[in-house]
Structure formats: structure tokens, C-alpha cells
């Protein structure tokens, strides 16, 4: 994917959750109370699906963070100090390396005293490039077919799935580093919402070939499954956002994900709207009780 600077210049940053089951019990196994556990230092890390570019209020910021993104909402409701390191167009590499001028490694926000960490990462760069830019560019060649899926198939397998498998090792290493820096922190890996319809299409909002939409959803589910597996192997929490946002994809009657056109005061194109961010905040508060 192109550099962060290009994304910022174009204000076209994109990133792209699997099983919202019963509410989690308290970490010690006791009955859940009505009030969340007290946290004192919360560090939020991730890409634009946690930065929420374009969701108001959105002050000038190189990472295009909204002050109403889900980390801000959770911090307010928990009455905890927030260090918001989320940044649009971030990749797993940007957790440990600078993303651009004035945007340092996200992991640098961690301290030994940090007691809550959320992380939503993995869609950039390969997947978002394929889903939106790549798939959109070939849609006209076969509007009812699956030109994007076809292009991703090689003798060694699907390029998107291979990218996810590679990222799994990188994400696991990042999780280990989070624990090294903040050994007492509760870690929540946050999945991605439902972005694509599971049936039908809406080319006016999502110009992807009709038969490529189920493929895009399949890859998204694979990404969420990978994130969940990393969380499970580590003993961290996994927050399923996909299930909670079903029926609110880009093509839905009540979409929580913006379509191809940026809507001022709503969201940057292909990014979560305020309703999606509130839903994630609600899920997190519920999990942290």
C-alpha cells in the first residue's frame, strides 16, 4: 500500500470480528457487576476503524482521529486517562515503527502502569488495497462476475489469505511486546465490523463486482478469525464486532459503514460512522464489567 503521507493527502484512509456470544464473566470468575472495573491508564492502538476519520468532532490531526471514536467514548464512561494512539492507514508495522512526521510508534504509548489496552489492526495494507482499490478497479470488466477473486488466485493459494497467515505471526509478536511493556494490562483485541453485504449489491455505494462481494466478506471473516485465534492463544480478550454490526453493512438500509463517497460531518469514505463506534464502545464497556 502507498505511504501514510499519500493517504493523508488524499484523506482516503482505509482499514478494515466473528461471534458476539454471551457477556463475559468477570476475570476472576465471579458474577458480573453493574459497574465496569476501574482502570487508570488506557492505551488504544489501531488503524482507522478505531480512529474513525470524519466522525465529528474531528479536529485537525495527522491520524484523523475523531474525538468521538470508541476509545474516547470508553475512556469517558470509565473515567480513565486515555492515550489514543490509533491512526488511520496504520499497519502492524506501525505499532513498532513511526508512521510519519509526528506520528511515532503506537507501542510507545504503553507504560508499566498501563492497565487497559485495546488493539484493532490487520486490515492494512494488503486487504484494504485489494478490497476497495483493486476490486473496484476491475469491477467494470465483469460486473456480475468475480474478477477480483479470480485475480487473487495463484498456484500457491489465495493472496489475501496468505497475507492474513503472514500477519498472524506479526500480530502474535506484537501482543507479546504489549505484555512485556505493560505486564499488568488487560488486553482486548478488537475485530472488524460487517462491511460487505452477504447478499445483493449496491454499486452506487460499493462499486465492486456482484460475485466479488461474498469473497470480500469471506476474507473479512478470515481476518477476524485470525485476530480471534491470536487473542485465544495469548489468553487475551477478543471483541467480536462483526456479529454486533450484522445488517448494518455498506449496502444496508441503515448503514454503519460509509460508502464510496465521503460525507462531511458523517464519515470518511469506506469508514465507520458514529453508530458503529458507539456500538463498539457499548460492547467494550459490557466486556469490561
- Secondary element (H or E) of residue 83: strand 81-84
Residues 215-227 have pLDDT tens digits of 999 999 999 999 9
Cell numbers standing for residue 195: 462491511
Going by the DSSP 8-state scheme, the letter that residue 94 receives in this structure is: G
Q: Would you state the cell numbers that stand for residue 81, as one nine-digit string?
A: 486517562
Q: Answer whether residue 88 shows pLDDT above 80.
A: yes
- Hey, how many other C-beta atoms are within 10 angstroms of the C-beta on 127? 25
Q: Does residue 142 have a pLDDT over 50? A: yes
Mean pLDDT, to the nearest integer, of 38-64?
A: 95
CB crowding 153-169: b at 16 or more within 10 Å, else e: eeeeebebeebbeebbe
Domains and CATH numbers, the chain: 4-288 (3.40.50.1110)
Residue from 219, 198, 218, 192 nearest 277 by CA: 192
Give the confidence band of 247 by pLDDT, cuts at 50, 70, 90.
Answer: very high
Q: Of the residues 41, 94, 248, 271, which is catalytic?
A: 271
Is 160 a residue whose pLDDT tops 50? yes
φ and ψ of 185, to 5 deg: -80, 140
Residues paired with 157 in a beta bridge? 154
Output 142 or 206, whichever has higher pLDDT. Answer: 206
Residue 128 pLDDT exceeds 70: yes
Higher pLDDT pick, 73 / 35: 73
The rounded distance, in Å, linking the Cα atoms of 75 and 49 is 17
What does residue 55 show for φ and ψ, rounded to 5 degrees? Answer: -80, 120
270 φ/ψ sector (left φ>0, alpha ψ -120 to 50, else beta): left
Nearest to 277, CA basis, from 122, 63, 7, 68: 68
Cα(199)–Cα(193) distance, integer angstroms: 16
Please report, rounded to a whole number, the percentage of residues in the chain having pLDDT higher than 90.
Answer: 70
Return d(Cα 87, Cα 102) in angstroms, integer: 12
Alpha helix (H) ranges present in 59-211? 70-78, 126-128, 135-138, 147-152, 159-181
Is 41 one of the annotated active-site residues of the chain? no
pLDDT bucket at 129, cuts 50 / 70 / 90: low
Catalytic, out of 18, 48, 72, 120: 48
Instruction: Enumerate the H helices of 182-241 as residue ranges.
Output: 212-234
Is residue 127's pLDDT more than 90?
no
> If you search the block for the grid coordinates 486517562, which residue do you land on?
81
CB-based contacts of 123: which residues, under 8 Å, 6+ apart? 14, 15, 16, 47, 49, 192, 223
Read off the C-alpha cell for 201. 449489491
* Predicted pLDDT of residue 221: 96
Please report the pLDDT score of residue 210 as a whole number: 86
Q: Does the annotation mark 156 as catalytic?
A: no
Amino acid at each position: 500500500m502507498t505511504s501514510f503521507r499519500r493517504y493523508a493527502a488524499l484523506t482516503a484512509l482505509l482499514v478494515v470480528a466473528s461471534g458476539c456470544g454471551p457477556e463475559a464473566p468477570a476475570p476472576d470468575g465471579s458474577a458480573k457487576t453493574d459497574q465496569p472495573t476501574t482502570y487508570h491508564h488506557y492505551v488504544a492502538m489501531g488503524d482507522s476503524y478505531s480512529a474513525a476519520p470524519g466522525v465529528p468532532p474531528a479536529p485537525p490531526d495527522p491520524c484523523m482521529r475523531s474525538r468521538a471514536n470508541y476509545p474516547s467514548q470508553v475512556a469517558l464512561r470509565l473515567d480513565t486517562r486515555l492515550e489514543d494512539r490509533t491512526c488511520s492507514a496504520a499497519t502492524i508495522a506501525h505499532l513498532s515503527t513511526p508512521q510519519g512526521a509526528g506520528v511515532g510508534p503506537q507501542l510507545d504509548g504503553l507504560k508499566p502502569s498501563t492497565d487497559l489496552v485495546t488493539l484493532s489492526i490487520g486490515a492494512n495494507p494488503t486487504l484494504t488495497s485489494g478490497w476497495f482499490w483493486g476490486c473496484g478497479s476491475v469491477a467494470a470488466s465483469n460486473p456480475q462476475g468475480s474478477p477480483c477473486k479470480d485475480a487473487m488466485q495463484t498456484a500457491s493459494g489465495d493472496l489475501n489469505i496468505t497475507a492474513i497467515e503472514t500477519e498472524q505471526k506479526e500480530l502474535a509478536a506484537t501482543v507479546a511486546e504489549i505484555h512485556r511493556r505493560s505486564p499488568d494490562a488487560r488486553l482486548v483485541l478488537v475485530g472488524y465490523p460487517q462491511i460487505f453485504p452477504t447478499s445483493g449489491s449496491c454499486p452506487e455505494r460499493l462499486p465492486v463486482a456482484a460475485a466479488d462481494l461474498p469473497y470480500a466478506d469471506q476474507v473479512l471473516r478470515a481476518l477476524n478469525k485470525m485476530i480471534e485465534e491470536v487473542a485465544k492463544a495469548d489468553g487475551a480478550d477478543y471483541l467480536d464486532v462483526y456479529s454486533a454490526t450484522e445488517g448494518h453493512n455498506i449496502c444496508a438500509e441503515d448503514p454503519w459503514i460509509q460508502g464510496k463517497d465521503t460525507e462531511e460531518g458523517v464519515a470518511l469514505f469506506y469508514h465507520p460512522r458514529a453508530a458503529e463506534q458507539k456500538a463498539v464502545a457499548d460492547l467494550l464497556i459490557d466486556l469490561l464489567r
